[in-house]
Every structure is written in structure tokens, then in C-alpha cells.
């Protein structure tokens, strides 16, 4: 803990908005109360989460060092900052950046706090936040005060709250937008921050704004609440409003948001959001956090009933001047450039690097003579020195109009085109001009096993490896392949947004030859465009170390077989997942340890792979269990279900997915009891008794969620699902199988 911590309050008193100062002081008192043993663990955990202070890997005081699981003897002396979370263990601080808007002073402060409290690197997330890692909990109030002094809050950055409100980073300068959504995103973020109607959710609540319906910049359809700018002519006057979507979300099983209002007048935006929050508070699940997101409520009630309930709730709200006070300002909202407009110059002396950068990283604005420039941040990371340099560049070129993006980059808007060559030179010197924005090189990845407690495989390690390989040949890569999106998550939770990539990956593990081997599930069929228009499905798991080959094969196949002008999404649909599975089938093989020891470690981590850091023991026996073969058969069934889905046969897809889950459950029963009932009802009953009630099947973090999928599938096995319901069941089936693999690995450990 820094000696200066307690001095920052006084030093910054005049600069902090009083509301934020009070909020931080309250948190500081809660820290003191916790240290004095006067605050419950769970209460403190939620209160720190609501301030963005998150846990980090190994904070339970255990780490597998590659040979054995060892205790990390933090000097916490029994003090914890939440259940199983040691006080002195480093944590993560999430920092909200509404609509990604950040100015030069804020960038400089971010640089300073990253340097003094973290490791000199800030990380941009897939929701336009910043994150700092390796932070001590007692440093957080000082860090928060320094951010508050430049207008940044961490309040409600985590926890069951309204999270960062995101928006298209090109809002206000985009050719396609209906109008600039920036002031609306800002107004809604401010209105809901700390709002009494948003303090009792069962789960987090995410909001996004987009200026148009077909571009992906804001990914509206993966959000709990998504607003797409729209206008309507009323009495000869153009009125602003929004198409309002609700109930979307990725997570383990993704849901597409449903259209709730085709046109919601702008003055109704805030009250409607408030009414939605109240309905969510009142009717949303509270006890089972695995079914507590708004998407479950909307799916359960149906969009029509949900719409009706919101309309009813809206009528009960007392008028609030804040609902509309911002609107005149929103209409008047403009940004001013710092330099006059210019024209881009490409002369004979222009380097190839510069030309490529112009092509990939520079976006001509709607305003003639200006461009928006993307600074590509490898793995979303930027150093303190780079942040300070970007702040200086902001002041020189763009009057501080920078935005973070959901692809983990930073965009500078209002760059006079005549300044582009000079800006390119400056960014090149900083290592921020890699000509790959929005390309296959510009890979999105969540923190994964680097720092996340839930990570199974190294998403960042894999991303770094793929990035390095692809960057080497980026210039030579076919343009159509260069435009593909790759997104990686370290587990099924989808923080890396793997469902909406052209090629997505998420971390899993497989028990092979007595070892636990890091794998990634390969997903195809996701769609980044149309505001994340469709979600990909898994076609099979491959060892982590073979993922680069998988990507090469898939992209080469695309190049070879695509028809003229055929985009990747259409190509996948035409070819079918079965053919892709065959294409990569041989790469799923795990060679014997002696022949390929590298398969048994993860990218960027020389330790023999383990799930031990998830709180599960390792060192499985040498005998290959028959369950592995049975689970492999179940995986084939699950894949068949996908093929039925692809052939527009949702009923058969659902039946096959259910059968796959049932067979996996029976395999586990055989393993435990020596035999399994053949009858489905009896199997479900036995599975509940031996695996669910005993919590043997429980995931360390998701608990009984995956077993619940199975029980629900059994209960609904005679239904006739529509395509979306069947798609969800196929996804749930895959997750149930992953959980079965993990459960089996744990059981093997206990047997040895």
C-alpha cells in the first residue's frame, strides 16, 4: 500500500466531483470496516465489485507451479476481501469509459495510475473499459480519486449493476449513422449511474448504442439493452428516436436481443430504460445467477409480455426532469477539430507501410477533409509511456477526441487528412501504427488464464502467437482473408466474444493419456456485421498448440473454394460445418507425450498444463477411461445436432443434442456405479442423485448450471423447438459435454 494514499483525498478535494468523492470515501470506510472485521465477506465482495475492484487469478492463495499446487503465503493473516479471496492477493481494477470517450488528461492519469499501482500497462476491454491488473485493494481508493479528479468513475464497473454504456467509436463522424448517439449514451450512463432503480438486479446489465443498424461497431444485439438511432417524420418534422432491443447477451449460451420498440422517441429513452430496470429488478431471477440475466427473463416472458410489462411500469413512473433536460444539448452536440480540413496526400515517396496503414487504419469521416485513425493495441494493451504520448498526440491533432473500441483499440477522430503522414510517423515511433485494424491480425482476446480466475486456456497466449504469425505475412495475405475476424475467450463465458467472430475459439480441456491437455473449441458461423447478426457454433476441440494450423487450414480452404465475392459467413453456410469438421479432424488428435510434449503445455506458459488453478486437483492416472471414448461419441452426436440445425431441422437437432447429453450423463453414471439405467427418466434421476445433489458435477464457478441444462432438456424433450431454441440447446449440450469432461478429470484425480 502506498504511503501517499491517504494524502490524495486532500490533494484532489477541489478537483473531484462531490458525488464521486463521497462515493469513494464510503468505499474507503468499507475497506476499514472489513479490516476491522465488521463487514461480512459477501457484502464486502459485492461492494468492491460495484466499485470495479475485481478478483484475479490465484487470489485464493493457491497456484499450480507446473509441478505441484502450492500455497501462496500472502501475509493476509486471515483477512479476506470476499469468499476465498485473500486480502493481499493482487486484484484487477476495471475503469468505466462511457461510450469509450476519453480525453488527454484522462489518458495521462490512466498512464500515471497504471505506472504507480499496476505494472505500467493498461488494458482496453471488449466493452470499451480500461482494466489495470495486479492492484492491491488498499490502493484502490487513491487510484479512484485520481481518476475521479479527471472525471472518470469506476462505480458500477462490475457487480450486478449497469455496466459501462458502450457506443460506436465513430459516432458523430460516420457516413452511415442516422445521428450521433454520443450524447444519448452519455446521458443514459449518467442517469442510471447509482440510480435507486438499478441497485437490486440479480445480475449485470449491459447497454450499447449504435448509429446504424447494419454495421457492427456497437454490437447492439448482444446487449441487455441496445439502442439503434432512427428518425421518423411527424407532422413534417424529423423526430429522433431509437429502435430498442432487449434481452441479448453472449455468456455461456448467447441470446439475440429482441426488438422491443421499432421507434422509441428520444424523450422516452431514459424513462423506458428506467422502466426496464424496474421490471428486471422486480421479475428477474435473484437466487440462481446462472439464469439471472435479462435475456432469460425476456425469453421466459416472451417479448410481447415483456413489452407490455415495461409499458405498464412506465406509466407508474414519476416525472423526472432529467429524462429530457439533456436533449437540447444532444441536438446541439458537435465536436470541433483542432486543425483545418485537408486532403490526404499519397506521393511517390509514400512508403508501402504508410499506404497499408491508410487502407486499414484510416477511415474517412463524413466531414470532408477529416479522418478517424485507429491505433492498434496488441492484445488491447498500451503502456503508460504510450498513453502519455497518445495524450500529447490528441492535443496536437484532434482536440482530445479519442475513443476506445470494442475491438480493444483506440480511435482518434477529427484528424485533418493533411496531417496523416506526420501522425503516421509519430504513431510508428510509438509502435501504434501496425496496419492491421479490423483485420485477421487484430485479434480480440479476453485476459484468460493470464489473470482471470475463470480462465481455462491461455486466450492471450494464443492471440499473441496467432498475431505474431499473421503479422509476419499480413502484407502478403489475400485481402479477403485479411478482413476476417478472430476472437478468443479463455473459457465458455465469451468475454472475448468468440460467438460473433468469423472464426472463434474458446478454451476447454481434455483428459488424454493421463494428462489434462489445453484445447480450444473452434467456432464457425458467427457474424460480426449487422450488429452481431448471428452466433457461431462449435465444430470440435483441438489442442491449443494446433490452433494455428486450424486457422491456416480454414482460411486456405476459404481462399480455395469460395465463389466470387462470397463472404466468409455465406461460405460457411454453403459448405456446411460437417466439411469443416472433416477438414480439421486430424488436428484434434493428441500425440503421445513423448512424441509431442509441447501439446501438454499452453501458449506462453511452460508449466505442464493443469486445471489446478481453478481449484481442482490434477495428476490424473495413466489408465485411459472408457468414459473418454463414450464422451467422444457424445461429441459426435452433438455435432450431428449442429448439422441438423444447419439443415433447418430444429426438432431433430434438439432431439440429437438431448440424446448426446443423456448419453454423457449415462457414461458418467457407468463410471461411478459400474452401470447406468437405460431408461431416460431413471438416468436423469440417478444423475441428479449422484452428480447433482452431491455437487460432484458442479463447475467451481458456474456451479450446477450445466447440469441444469440437461435437466431442462430432459423436461422439454418432447417439445417442438424453433430454430433459435434448438440452437441454444445445441450450445447447452456442448457446454454440458465440457462439464462432463471436467467432472471426469476430477473423478480420475480422486481415484488415484
Partner 1 sequence: MRSLDHFNVKIFAQPAPQFDLAQAVPVFHRWIQESARPELLIDVADYRHVQAGPGVLLVGHEANYSLDNRAARLGLLYNRKLASEDSLPAKLEQAFGAALGACAALEAEPAFGGKLRFNAGEAEILINDRLLAPNTAAAVASLLPELRAFLDHLYGVSAYTAESGGAPGERLCVAVKTAEQRPVAWALERLRRA
Q: Which of 33, 35, 79, 134 binds partner 1 (CB under 8 A)?
A: 134
To the nearest 10 degrees (0 to 180), the angle between helices 626-646 and 723-751 is: 170
378 interacts with partner 1 by CB under 8 A: yes
- Containing 608, the helix (H) or strand (E) segment is strand 605-608
108 interacts with partner 1 by CB under 8 A: yes
State in angstroms the smallest separation of the CB of 462 from partner 1: 12
Rounded CA separation 166/160 (Å)? 17
Rounded CA separation 114/136 (Å)? 12
606 interacts with partner 1 by CB under 8 A: yes
State in angstroms the smallest separation of the CB of 43 from partner 1: 26
3 interacts with partner 1 by CB under 8 A: yes
Nearer to partner 1, 1 or 32 (CB): 1
388 interacts with partner 1 by CB under 8 A: yes
709 interacts with partner 1 by CB under 8 A: no
Q: Which of 58, 557, 593, 711 binds partner 1 (CB under 8 A)?
A: 58
Q: Which of 18, 37, 73, 328 binds partner 1 (CB under 8 A)?
A: 73
66 interacts with partner 1 by CB under 8 A: yes
Q: Which of 2, 553, 573, 717 binds partner 1 (CB under 8 A)?
A: 2
Q: Which of 176, 353, 381, 566 binds partner 1 (CB under 8 A)?
A: 381
115 interacts with partner 1 by CB under 8 A: yes
State in angstroms the smallest separation of the CB of 133 from partner 1: 8
Grid cell in block for residue 402 = 479519442
Nearer to partner 1, 115 or 635 (CB): 115
Q: Where are the alpha helices (DSSP H) in 36-159?
A: 41-49, 104-117, 140-148
Rounded CA separation 746/198 (Å)? 39
595 interacts with partner 1 by CB under 8 A: no
Q: Which of 23, 313, 450, 637 binds partner 1 (CB under 8 A)?
A: 450
353 interacts with partner 1 by CB under 8 A: no
Q: Which of 385, 552, 682, 722 binds partner 1 (CB under 8 A)?
A: 385
Nearer to partner 1, 115 or 637 (CB): 115
Q: Is 626 exposed, middle or buried (0-12, 13-18, 19+ CB in 10 A)?
A: exposed
13 interacts with partner 1 by CB under 8 A: no
Q: Is 3 helix (H, G, I), strand (E, B) or coil?
A: coil
Q: DSSP states of 366-413 as a string?
A: SSTTEEEEEE--GGGEEEHHHHHHHHHHIIIIITT-EEE-TTS-EEEE
616 interacts with partner 1 by CB under 8 A: no
Strands, E assignment, 101-236: 101-102, 121-124, 130-135, 162-167, 205-210, 225-234
Q: What is the CA radius of gyration of the chain?
A: 26
Candidates 495, 490, 580, 582; CA nearest to 537 is: 580
Residue pair 61/47 in contact (Cβ under 8 Å)? The answer is: no
Strands 605-608 and 601-602: antiparallel
Contacts to partner 1 from residues 468-507, by CB under 8 A: 468
CB neighbours of residue 335 within 10 Å? 15
607 interacts with partner 1 by CB under 8 A: yes
Measure Cα distances from 660 to 182, 578, 651, 731 in Å: 47, 17, 14, 12
615 interacts with partner 1 by CB under 8 A: no
8 interacts with partner 1 by CB under 8 A: yes
Nearer to partner 1, 88 or 197 (CB): 88
Nearer to partner 1, 120 or 342 (CB): 120
Q: Which of 7, 234, 559, 651 binds partner 1 (CB under 8 A)?
A: 7
Q: Which of 33, 39, 72, 79 binds partner 1 (CB under 8 A)?
A: 72
618 interacts with partner 1 by CB under 8 A: no
Nearer to partner 1, 116 or 646 (CB): 116
261 interacts with partner 1 by CB under 8 A: no
87 interacts with partner 1 by CB under 8 A: no
Place of cell 475492484: 53
Residue pair 574/493 in contact (Cβ under 8 Å)? The answer is: no
263 interacts with partner 1 by CB under 8 A: no
Category of 592 on φ-ψ map: left (φ > 0), alpha (ψ -120 to 50) or beta = beta
Contacts of residue 123, Cβ cutoff 8 Å, sequence gap at least 6: 130, 131, 132, 133, 379, 380, 381, 382, 408, 447
State in angstroms the smallest separation of the CB of 499 from partner 1: 25
> Between 206 and 245, how does the x/- string for binding to partner 1 read (CB under 8 A)?
----------------------------------------
The half-sphere exposure of 193 on its side-chain side, counting CA atoms within 13 A, is 20
Q: Which of 386, 459, 477, 534 binds partner 1 (CB under 8 A)?
A: 386
Q: Which residues pair with 603 in a beta bridge?
A: none
Q: Which of 41, 116, 176, 649 binds partner 1 (CB under 8 A)?
A: 116
State in angstroms the smallest separation of the CB of 390 from partner 1: 13
Q: Which of 57, 293, 403, 499 binds partner 1 (CB under 8 A)?
A: 57
Stretches 463-471, 534-542, 657-665, 740-748: which one binds partner 1 (CB under 8 A)? Answer: 463-471
Contacts to partner 1 from residues 149-208, by CB under 8 A: none
Q: For the CA atoms of 430, 436, 440, 443, what is the dihedral angle to 10 degrees?
A: 30
Nearer to partner 1, 75 or 674 (CB): 75
Q: Which of 164, 365, 383, 521 binds partner 1 (CB under 8 A)?
A: 383
Stretches 60-68, 162-170, 257-265, 737-745: which one binds partner 1 (CB under 8 A)? Answer: 60-68
Strands 444-445 and 486-489: parallel
CB neighbours of residue 128 within 10 Å? 26
Nearer to partner 1, 134 or 557 (CB): 134
State in angstroms the smallest separation of the CB of 468 from partner 1: 8
> Between 407 and 446, how does the x/- string for binding to partner 1 read (CB under 8 A)?
-----------------------xxx--------------
**Cβ contacts of 298-307, under 8 Å, gap ≥ 24:** 298/246, 298/247, 298/255, 298/258, 299/247, 299/255, 303/246, 303/247, 303/258, 303/259, 303/260, 306/246, 306/247, 306/258, 306/260, 306/279, 307/260, 307/261
Nearer to partner 1, 121 or 137 (CB): 121
State in angstroms the smallest separation of the CB of 413 from partner 1: 23
Measure Cα distances from 63 to 66, 447, 607, 611, 737 in Å: 9, 17, 11, 10, 26
Handedness of CA 140, 145, 150, 156 (dihedral sign): positive
Residue pair 154/95 in contact (Cβ under 8 Å)? The answer is: yes
Nearer to partner 1, 61 or 342 (CB): 61
Nearer to partner 1, 121 or 500 (CB): 121
State in angstroms the smallest separation of the CB of 492 from partner 1: 23
Grid cell in block for residue 608 = 505442464
Nearer to partner 1, 88 or 180 (CB): 88
Residues within the interface to partner 1 (CB under 8 A): 1-4, 7-8, 11, 57-58, 63, 65-67, 72-75, 88-90, 108, 112, 115-116, 119-121, 133-134, 136, 378-379, 381-383, 385-386, 388, 430-432, 450-451, 461, 464, 467-468, 604-607
Amino acid at each position: 500500500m502506498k504511503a501517499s494514499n491517504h494524502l490524495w483525498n486532500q490533494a484532489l478535494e477541489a478537483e473531484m466531483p462531490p458525488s464521486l468523492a463521497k462515493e469513494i470515501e464510503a468505499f474507503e470506510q468499507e475497506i476499514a470496516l472489513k479490516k476491522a472485521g465488521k463487514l461480512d465477506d459477501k457484502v464486502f465482495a459485492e461492494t468492491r465489485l460495484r466499485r470495479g475492484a475485481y478478483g484475479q487469478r490465484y487470489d485464493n492463495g493457491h497456484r499450480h507451479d507446473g509441478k505441484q499446487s502450492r500455497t501462496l503465503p500472502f501475509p493476509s493473516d486471515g483477512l479476506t476481501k470476499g469468499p476465498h479471496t485473500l486480502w493481499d492477493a493482487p486484484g484487477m481494477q476495471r475503469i468505466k469509459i462511457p461510450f469509450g470517450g476519453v480525453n488527454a488528461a484522462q489518458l495521462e492519469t490512466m498512464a500515471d495510475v497504471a505506472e504507480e499501482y499496476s505494472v505500467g500497462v493498461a488494458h482496453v476491454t471488449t466493452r470499451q473499459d480500461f482494466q489495470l491488473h495486479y492492484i492491491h485493494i488498499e490502493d484502490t481508493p487513491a487510484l479512484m480519486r485520481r481518476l475521479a479528479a479527471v472525471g472518470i468513475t469506476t462505480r458500477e464497473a462490475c457487480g450486478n449493476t449497469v455496466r459501462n454504456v458502450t457506443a460506436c467509436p465513430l459516432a458523430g463522424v460516420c457516413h452511415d449513422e442516422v445521428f450521433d448517439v454520443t450524447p444519448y449514451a452519455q446521458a443514459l450512463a449518467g442517469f442510471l449511474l447509482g440510480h435507486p432503480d438499478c441497485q437490486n438486479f440479480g445480475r449485470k446489465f449491459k447497454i450499447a448504442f449504435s448509429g446504424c443498424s447494419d454495421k457492427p461497431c456497437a454490437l447492439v444485439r448482444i446487449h441487455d439493452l441496445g439502442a439503434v438511432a432512427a428518425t421518423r417524420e411527424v407532422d413534417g418534422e424529423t423526430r429522433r428516436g431509437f429502435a430498442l432491443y432487449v434481452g441479448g447477451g453472449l455468456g455461456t449460451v448467447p441470446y439475440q436481443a429482441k426488438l422491443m420498440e421499432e421507434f422509441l422517441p428520444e424523450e422516452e429513452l431514459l424513462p423506458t430504460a428506467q422502466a426496464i430496470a424496474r421490471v428486471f429488478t422486480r421479475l428477474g431471477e435473484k437466487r440462481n445467477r446462472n439464469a439471472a440475466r435479462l435475456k432469460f427473463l425476456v425469453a421466459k416472458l416472451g417479448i410481447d409480455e415483456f413489452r407490455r410489462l415495461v409499458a405498464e411500469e412506465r406509466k407508474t413512473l414519476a416525472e423526472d426532469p432529467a429524462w429530457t433536460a439533456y436533449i437540447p444539448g444532444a441536438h446541439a452536440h458537435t465536436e470541433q477539430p483542432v486543425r483545418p480540413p485537408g486532403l490526404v496526400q499519397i506521393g511517390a515517396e509514400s512508403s508501402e507501410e504508410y499506404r497499408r496503414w491508410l487502407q486499414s487504419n484510416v477511415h474517412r469521416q463524413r466531414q470532408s477533409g477529416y479522418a478517424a485513425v485507429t491505433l492498434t493495441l496488441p492484445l488491447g494493451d498500451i503502456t503508460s509511456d504510450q498513453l502519455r504520448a497518445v495524450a500529447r498526440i490528441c492535443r496536437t491533432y484532434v482536440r482530445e477526441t479519442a475513443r476506445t473500441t470494442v475491438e480493444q483499440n483506440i480511435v482518434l477522430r477529427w484528424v485533418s487528412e493533411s496531417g496523416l503522414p506526420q501522425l503516421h510517423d509519430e504513431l510508428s515511433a510509438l509502435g501504434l501504427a501496425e496496419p492491421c485494424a479490423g483485420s485477421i491480425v487484430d485479434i480480440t482476446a479476453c485476459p484468460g488464464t493470464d489473470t482471470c480466475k475463470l480462465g481455462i486456456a491461455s486466450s492471450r497466449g494464443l492471440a499473441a502467437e496467432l498475431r505474431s504469425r499473421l503479422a509476419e505475412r499480413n502484407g502478403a495475405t489475400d485481402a479477403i482473408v485479411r478482413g476476417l475476424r478472430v476472437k478468443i475467450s479463455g473459457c465458455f463465458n465469451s468475454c472475448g466474444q468468440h460467438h460473433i467472430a468469423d472464426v472463434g475459439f474458446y478454451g476447454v480441456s481434455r483428459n488424454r493419456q493421463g494428462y489434462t491437455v489445453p484445447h480450444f473449441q473452434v467456432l464457425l458461423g458467427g457474424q460480426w456485421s449487422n450488429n452481431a447478426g448471428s452466433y457461431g457454433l462449435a465444430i470440435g476441440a483441438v489442442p491449443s498448440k494446433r490452433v494455428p494450423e486450424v486457422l491456416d487450414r480454414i482460411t486456405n480452404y476459404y481462399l480455395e473454394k469460395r465463389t466470387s465475392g462470397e463472404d466468409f459467413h455465406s461460405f460457411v453456410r454453403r459448405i456446411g460445418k460437417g466439411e469443416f469438421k472433416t477438414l480439421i479432424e486430424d488436428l484434434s488428435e493428441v500425440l503421445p507425450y513423448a512424441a509431442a510434449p509441447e501439446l501438454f503445455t499452453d501458449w506462453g506458459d511452460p508449466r505442464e498444463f493443469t486445471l489446478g488453478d481453478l481449484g481442482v486437483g490434477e495428476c490424473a492416472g495413466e489408465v485411459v477411461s472408457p468414459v473418454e471414448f463414450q464422451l467422444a461419441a457424445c461429441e459426435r452426436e452433438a455435432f450431428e445436432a449442429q448439422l441438423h440445425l444447419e439443415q433447418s431441422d430444429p426438432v431433430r437437432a434438439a432431439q440429437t443434442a438431448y440424446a448426446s447429453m443423456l448419453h454423457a450423463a449415462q457414461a458418467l453414471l457407468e463410471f461411478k456405479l459400474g452401470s447406468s439405467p437405460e431408461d431416460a427418466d431413471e438416468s436423469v434421476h440417478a444423475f441428479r442423485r449422484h452428480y447433482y445433489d452431491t455437487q460432484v458435477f458442479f463447475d467451481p464457478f458456474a456451479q450446477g448450471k450445466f447440469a441444469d441444462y440437461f435437466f431442462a432438456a430432459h423436461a422439454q424433450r418432447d417439445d417442438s423447438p424453433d430454430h433459435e431454441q434448438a440452437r441454444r440447446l445445441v450450445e447447452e449440450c456442448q457446454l454440458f459435454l465440457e462439464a462432463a469432461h471436467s467432472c471426469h478429470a476430477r473423478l480420475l484425480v480422486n481415484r488415484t
